Amino acid sequence: MAAAESPPGGTGVAAAEQTTLDFSGVRAELGLPTGYPDAALAEVKQRLGRPLTGNYWDAADLPLVTIDPPGAKDLDQAVLVRRRRRGYRVHYAIADVAAFIAPGGVLDAESRRRGQTIYLPDGQVPLHPPLLAEDAASLLPGKVRPAVLWTFDLDSDGVPVRVDLTRALVRSVAQLDYATVQRSLQLRMPHPSVELLPEVGRLRRAQALRRGAIELGLPEQQVEPDGKGGWRLTLRPRLVIETWNAEVSLLTGMCAAEMMVSAGIGVLRTVPAPEPETVDRLRKSANRIGVHWPEEIPPAAVLAGLDPVRPEALAVHAAATRLLRGAGYTAFGDGAPANTAHAGIGASYAHVTAPLRRLVDRYCTEVCLAISAGREVPSWVTETLAELPSLMGNSDRVASQAERACIAQTQAWSLAGRVGEVFPATVLRAANGEAGEIFIADPPVIARCTGEGLGEGQRTRVRLVEADPTRREVSFEVV
């Protein structure tokens, strides 16, 4: 592809060429499946032609709402927050995917092969067929759907004092998006079902800091259509409503993990605590670049207090990624494992809130339902538990590779034809004698940079020396 000139901040790709730009190369490299096997689709259609089996509590009168990005169709969760005499009651409905999948069937095998939905800018590679994930099992507004309904009674500090879950029939009354909810809260005209979500969200965030949850504030690059047949990079701002909504999901995952650990069976998402030496090195690095970090203050408190817009704070957040290494899945069936913690959350944690998009959630949910009802965990679950860490680990790697490749591809497209230009930058990582890493704001790119005198957190000027869309390579040098 020939490079094209563009003004600063442009896509860097000639408009005539943009109609050919897609991410088919990424799909081919990673061997991502196209379409869905006919046998699996036939199995779904056959299942949809039969009535639901099992006992479902009729909760269709609960005014639950979904909050997702605009245009989302695979709606996993619906929420309702109400006030109690001394606290809050949170209802959280999760799509009951297991109601539609026959254990050992063709669809079950295909979902295990995929592991999770892989998201690319030009379309997703779904875990389940759209007929299921975006229709029959999705918590679409106005539709009665089978769900697993979690109910949490929280005290006035946001701490759960009672947890219950059951299969239920639910009906979302509205499909909301983050920006709309945020705006409605600012205008003091929120949907009644989420009017109290900010209160609960703030309380849960305070609890997270007490637990020592480590949250990174790195800029989140996002690839989106540029309106001219091509793609551009943007920085996706995280609205505060997303944080509050995420706290309900985290609450659910922590309660699920606690249930499984107590029962001695399940699958946890685990991240080991950082070594003291790692924390000490990060603290010394932060102090060197002007971020005050007293020895007695834990990482969670320091990171939460930083404004990531400041260059030195951005560098500390980038370096703090080393605190959360070693993420994995831990399956157990004969007592709790030795390591149950997730350092990023500051507690034990399990995935149970996104079964339309992630395989392990279906299994963990069945474990929790069995524990709650005082019955044996189904054999189709216990027979698969040991496989889940490998299945999920493999799919996590593919999802991560796809995201990195798409961003790298778009970075190269965005900067093609601009080799030699100089950009203001912030140094994220400095490496002695090796390439460091810098962030430029327009277009929002994170890339390698060579040169003497790189210091983490410093502002500098860098020259683009390479932007190769074929190899997806972008690199800079200090001016």
Q: Which two tokens stand for residue 381?
A: 């679950």
Q: Does 464 score more than 70 pLDDT? A: yes
Q: Return the higher-pLDDT residue of 163 and 429.
A: 163
Interval 415-442 mean pLDDT: 88
Q: Which residue has the tokens 């949490």?
A: 152
Q: What are phi and psi of 58, to 5 degrees?
A: -80, 100
Residues 434 and 475: their CA atoms lie apart, in Å, by: 13
Is pTM beyond 0.75? Reply is: yes
Give residue-wise pLDDT tens across range 205-223: 999 999 999 988 777 899 9
Here the tokens at position 448 are 């390698």
Q: Which helix (H) or strand (E) holds 373?
A: helix 359-373
Q: What is the rounded average pLDDT for all residues in the chain?
A: 92
pLDDT digits (tens, 9 = 90+) for 341-350: 999 999 999 9
Tell me the per-residue pLDDT of 286-317, one tens digit each, with 9 for 90 and over: 998 889 999 899 999 999 888 877 888 888 98
57 backbone dihedrals φ, ψ, rounded to 5°: -75, 135
pLDDT of residue 431: 67
Nearest CA to 213 out of 251, 179, 257 is that of 251
Q: Average the pLDDT over 369-385 and give the result.
A: 97
Question: Which pLDDT score is estimated for 219?
Answer: 75
Give me the mean pLDDT over the 441-454 stretch. Answer: 89
| pLDDT reported for residue 433 | 60
Give the tokens for residue 273: 């605590």
User: Residue 126: pLDDT above 60?
Assistant: yes
For 45-92, write each residue's pLDDT tens digit: 999 989 888 899 999 999 999 999 999 999 999 999 999 999 999 999
Q: Is residue 2's pLDDT more than 60?
A: no
Distances (CA, A) of 122 to 24, 33, 198: 9, 14, 33
- The confidence score (pLDDT) of residue 20 equals 59
* For residues 382-388, average pLDDT: 97
pLDDT of residue 218: 75
pLDDT at 145 over 90: yes
Q: Are 342 and 348 in contact (CB under 8 A)?
A: yes
Could you give the CA distance from residue 415 to residue 412 in angstroms, rounded to a whole number? 5
List the domain boundaries for the chain. Answer: 40-274+324-414, 416-478
pLDDT, residue 444, reads 93
pLDDT at 54: 85
Structure tokens that stand for 164 in this block: 């219950």
CA distances from 352 to 102, 149, 211, 255, 359 (A): 19, 11, 21, 10, 10
* Distance, CA of 453 to CA of 431 (rounded, Å): 10
Summarize the confidence of residues 115-132 as an average pLDDT.
Answer: 96
Distance CA 390, CA 135 (A): 29
Q: What average pLDDT score do residues 133-155 get? A: 97
Instruction: Dump pLDDT digits (tens) for 182-205.
Output: 999 999 999 999 999 999 999 999
Among residues of the chain, what percentage have pLDDT more than 70?
95
User: CA 6 from chain center: how many Å?
Assistant: 33
Tell me what the mean pLDDT of segment 357-385 comes to. Answer: 97
Q: What CA–CA distance (Å, rounded) separates 325 from 302? A: 19
Length of the chain, in residues: 479
Report the distance separating Cα 166 and Cα 369, nearest Å.
Answer: 7
CATH class of 416-478: mainly beta
Residue 298 φ/ψ, nearest 5 degrees: -75, 160
